[in-house]
Chain A
Amino acid sequence: MRFMLVAAGVGLLLAAIPGFAHHSFAAEYDSNKPITVKGTVNKLAWVNPHAYVFVDVKDEHGKVTTWAFESLSPNALAQQGWNRSSLKPGDQVTVEGYLAKDGKPLADGSMHANSRKITLADGRAVFVGSSADAAYQQGK
């Protein structure tokens, strides 16, 4: 019961968070196209306006595709206790997020998406939060 209350509270909080992206979520990503991928961290780009997490995902034929996941800004992540070492190359991760609307890769060829939660192999969740959880574009 207590867990359910906490879960409900987190849900309300998620619904209440305005976007802390520097751009409109809905203009770039599709909230109707949620995705979950498992892979290996290739690198973490700790840069503004958004940190990006690059994840190598291997398909059943062994072909590796690199995904680029937009996260929050480094300062927003830092204020929640994460830092540039919270994800390291080689970490096994599961990323939940949303596909980019235009379906076009970034300039480096990586698949483009937005992350709302990254879970490490030990179950620890990092970089939780996304402009997807936003009232930003909904007119407050």
Chain B
Amino acid sequence: MRSYLLGLIVIVAAAAQPPAPPAPGGFLQNAAPAGPTPRTPEGKPDLSGVWSPGLDFARMGQVPLQPWADALYKDRRANLSKDDPEGHCLPAGVPRIAPFPFKLVQTPSLVIYLDEGNVHSYRQFFLDGRGHPKDLDPTWMGDSIAKWDGDTLVVDTIGFNDKTWLNGQGLPHSDALHVIERYRRPDLGHLEEEITMEDSKAFTAPHTFKRTMTLMPKWEIHEYVCNEFNVDAEHLVGAGH
């Protein structure tokens, strides 16, 4: 009886014990599930899944800029990124991504890329052999066509406007931006992306960098209606105060 009571007390104490707070930023540091690369019936790697970029979302390296672009970049740095389009709930563009997860849905002729945030946006990687349309209207996310190079999905994107920043620090580009992404799924839990950016009007040379995403089998992408309560916009004063 006594030990039964003691047991009860221990259970009650355990129930009352507040859960340990999760590690700050813990959601950005996730272990990848192990296993072989999933494949489609056609034998291609299946890139489908909910992916988290983790800390790689901010990775880009040093991009060689032409003088006008470097001056604009320095100006944005001096202003502490107060005019970042993302702060105004505008799309990130390409290849910039948010720390939030995204979802890939793969079919034989089309891969769909669904962004949870910064704002909901989508990209379509057309795999049906089409080329880029002639005389593209400039857009935030550009026009993407794709092809397989062995087990690597190569995505070619042009047709951008010049309104997006390439990263949160304000790295500029022009409407001549051309992005080539090479996606690989070397195993179940990882999606590797090698990105080459060319911009004859803003860069002095192409720039290539890599990031690795982690499969999040228990996650879904969530609703993220950025404009619902964006009270920040009018308080982004930069270095002015």
- Give residues in A with beta carbon < 8 Å to B: 10, 13-14, 16-20, 22-24, 26-28, 30, 45, 47-50, 52, 70, 73-76, 78-81, 100-104, 106-107, 112, 120, 122-126, 128-129, 133, 135-137, 139-140
Contacts and interface: CB of A to CB of B under 8 A. Distances in A.
Given A47-B228, A50-B229, A28 B24 contact: no
B57 to A, nearest CB: 7
Given A17-B25, A48-B224, A81 B237 contact: no
Given A26-B80, A75-B100, A135 B25 contact: no
Contact of B23 (A10, A126, A135): A10
B21 A126 contact: yes
Contact of A20 (B23, B79, B99, B229): B99
Nearest to A46: B229
Contacts of A79: 27, 219
B225 A139 contact: no
Nearest to A133: B24
Given A22-B89, A27-B80, A122 B18 contact: yes
Contacts of A10: 23-24
B232 to A, nearest CB: 5
A24 to B, nearest CB: 4
B229 A24 contact: no
Interface in B25-40: 25-29
Across the A-B interface, give the 3 residue pairs with the lowest CB-CB distance, nearest first.
A23-B87, A24-B81, A79-B27
Nearest to B23: A13
Contacts of A123: 18
